[in-house]
C-alpha cells in the first residue's frame, strides 16, 4: 500500500485541485514547496514557514548527505526533529546540484567533488534511495540525469534512457514503507522524447512523478510544450511535480496544463537581493522612492511583514545591510507565492481558472521585472 494518498477534488480544463496526504500530514494542490536546502529555508525558521502558510517543505539530499550527514539527521529525529518541522517533507535526489558540478557520469552513478571539502563523493541510484530513507522525508525522488538545454537530441535521449534504468534500480532497493518514491520524467524539450519518457516512467509504477530537466535554459514556449507532451502520459490519479519552477507566469502556465506541485529558490533568492514580488509587477525595495513610504509592500497581503512593516523601513534595512531585511522580504515573497496558488485553487474550484489566469498575467504585464509606480499599491 502506498504511504501517500492523492485525491483530486475539482478540475477546470486540465487544471485541477486536490489534496495529498502523507505520513506527516496533508497539503493542498496545486501547491508550492519552500526550499530548505540545508534543512532550513535560508534566514527563516519553521515558525516563519507556518506563519506564511507553507504546508510542505523541500530539503536537499546532496547537501544534507555531506553536512551534517544523513545519520546525524536521523539521530536528531530525522527531518521532522532536525528541522523542527512536523509537516510533510520532500527530498530531491541531488541530481540538479550534481548537474551544476559537472560530475563524471557512468552507468553505475555519478562521481563529484564535495563543495565543502573537495573530497571525492560517489552517488548511485541505490545510495540516493538509502540516504533519503535515512533522512526520513515523506516523499523521495529517484536519482536522474539531466542535461543543460539546448542539447543534441542524442545527448537528451541517452540521459533519458539512463534515468529510466536508474529509476528501475531505485525501485528495487526501496525498503521504507512510510516513504513514497517518485519517478522523474526527462526528455528535454523534444515532445516525442518527453511523451516517451513519461509513458515509460509511468509503467514502472511510481505513486507520483517529477517532471525534471526544465528551467535549465529553455524558453517558456519550449517548457510549456514539454509539459503538454509529458502530462497526458502520466496516470491522472498520481501527483505531478514540476521540479525547480517557481515564478508566477511559469507556475500558472503549468497549473493550466495539469501540474500539481512546485519548488524553487526564486522567491527567497530574490528577497535576499531586495526584490519584492507583487501582483502589479515585482520591484526593488532599494529604490529611493520608498524612503519615506509608509505603505506595506502590498496592502492586500496578509503576511507578517506586510501587516507590520513599511516599504520605507524595509528599504532602510537593505540600504544598511541589516540581516532582518532579507528575512522579512523572504517571508513576504513566500507568502505571495503560496497565496497565488491558493487563489489558483479557488479559481479552479469555481471553474474560472483560465479567466483568472489571464487577469493575473494582464495585471503584471505592464510592469514586469521591477518598475511599478511608487503610487500604485
Rounded Cα–Cα distance for residues 58 and 375 (Å): 37
Helix or strand (DSSP H, E) at 333: helix 323-349
Rounded Cα–Cα distance for residues 357 and 13 (Å): 13
Rounded Cα–Cα distance for residues 167 and 209 (Å): 11
Burial class (CB in 10 A: 0-12, 13-18, 19+), 366: exposed
Phi/psi of residue 210, each to 5°? -90, 145
For residue 81, what are the β-bridge partners? none
Give the alpha-carbon dihedral of 324, 326, 327, 331, to 10 degrees.
140
Rounded Cα–Cα distance for residues 346 and 361 (Å): 17
Name the active-site residue from 190, 247, 263, 282. 263
C-beta separation of 93 from 143 below 8 A: yes
DSSP 140: E
Rounded Cα–Cα distance for residues 160 and 9 (Å): 32
Nearest to 138 by CA among 173, 181, 172, 167: 181
Based on the residue annotation, tell me whether 302 is a catalytic residue of this protein. Answer: no
C-beta separation of 137 from 79 below 8 A: yes
Rounded Cα–Cα distance for residues 277 and 301 (Å): 11
C-beta separation of 262 from 31 below 8 A: yes
Name the active-site residue from 92, 138, 247, 293. 92
Rounded Cα–Cα distance for residues 89 and 74 (Å): 14
Rounded Cα–Cα distance for residues 73 and 175 (Å): 19
Whether residue 252 has a cis bond before it, omega within 30° of 0: no
Based on the residue annotation, tell me whether 71 is a catalytic residue of this protein. Answer: no
Cell of 263: 519548488
Q: Order of strands across the sheet with 110-113?
A: 104-105, 110-113, 120-123
Q: What is the set of active-site residues? A: 92, 263
Amino acid at each position: 500500500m502506498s504511504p501517500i494518498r492523492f485525491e483530486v477534488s475539482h478540475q477546470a480544463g486540465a487544471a485541477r485541485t486536490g489534496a495529498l496526504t502523507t505520513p506527516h500530514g496533508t497539503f493542498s494542490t496545486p501547491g508550492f514547496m519552500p526550499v530548505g536546502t540545508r534543512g532550513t529555508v535560508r534566514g527563516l525558521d519553521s515558525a516563519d514557514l507556518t506563519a506564511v502558510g507553507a504546508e510542505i517543505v523541500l530539503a536537499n539530499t546532496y547537501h544534507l548527505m555531506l553536512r551534517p550527514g544523513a545519520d546525524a539527521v536521523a539521530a536528531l529525529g530525522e527531518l521532522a526533529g532536525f528541522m523542527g518541522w512536523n509537516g510533510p517533507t520532500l527530498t530531491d535526489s541531488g541530481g540538479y546540484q550534481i548537474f551544476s558540478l559537472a560530475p563524471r557520469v557512468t552507468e553505475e552513478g555519478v562521481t563529484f567533488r564535495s563543495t565543502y571539502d573537495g573530497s571525492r563523493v560517489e552517488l548511485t541510484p541505490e545510495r540516493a534511495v538509502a540516504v533519503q530513507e535515512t533522512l526520513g522525508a515523506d516523499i523521495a525522488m529517484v536519482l536522474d540525469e539531466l542535461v543543460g538545454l539546448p542539447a543534441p537530441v542524442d545527448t537528451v535521449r541517452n540521459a533519458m534512457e539512463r534515468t529510466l534504468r536508474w529509476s528501475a534500480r531505485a525501485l528495487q532497493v526501496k525498503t521504507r514503507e512510510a516513504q513514497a518514491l517518485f519517478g522523474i520524467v526527462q526528455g528535454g524539450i523534444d515532445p516525442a522524447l518527453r511523451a516517451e519518457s513519461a509513458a515509460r516512467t509511468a509503467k514502472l509504477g511510481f505513486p507520483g512523478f517529477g517532471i525534471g530537466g526544465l528551467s535549465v535554459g529553455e524558453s517558456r514556449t519550449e517548457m510549456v510544450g514539454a509539459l503538454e507532451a509529458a502530462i497526458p502520459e502520466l496516470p491522472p490519479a498520481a501527483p505531478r511535480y514540476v521540479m525547480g519552477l517557481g515564478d508566477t507566469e511559469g507556475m500558472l502556465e503549468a497549473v493550466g496544463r495539469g501540474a500539481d506541485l512546485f519548488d524553487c529558490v526564486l522567491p527567497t533568492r530574490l528577497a535576499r537581493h531586495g526584490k519584492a514580488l507583487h501582483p502589479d509587477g515585482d520591484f526593488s525595495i532599494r529604490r529611493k522612492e520608498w524612503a519615506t513610504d509608509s505603505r506595506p509592500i502590498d496592502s492586500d497581503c496578509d503576511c507578517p511583514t506586510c501587516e507590520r512593516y513599511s516599504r520605507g523601513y524595509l528599504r532602510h534595512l537593505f540600504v544598511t545591510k541589516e540581516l532582518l531585511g532579507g528575512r522579512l522580504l523572504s517571508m513576504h515573497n513566500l507568502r505571495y507565492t503560496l497565496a497565488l496558488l491558493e487563489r489558483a485553487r479557488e479559481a479552479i474550484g469555481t471553474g474560472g481558472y483560465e479567466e483568472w489566469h489571464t487577469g493575473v498575467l494582464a495585471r503584471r504585464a505592464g510592469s514586469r521585472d521591477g518598475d511599478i509606480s511608487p503610487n500604485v499599491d
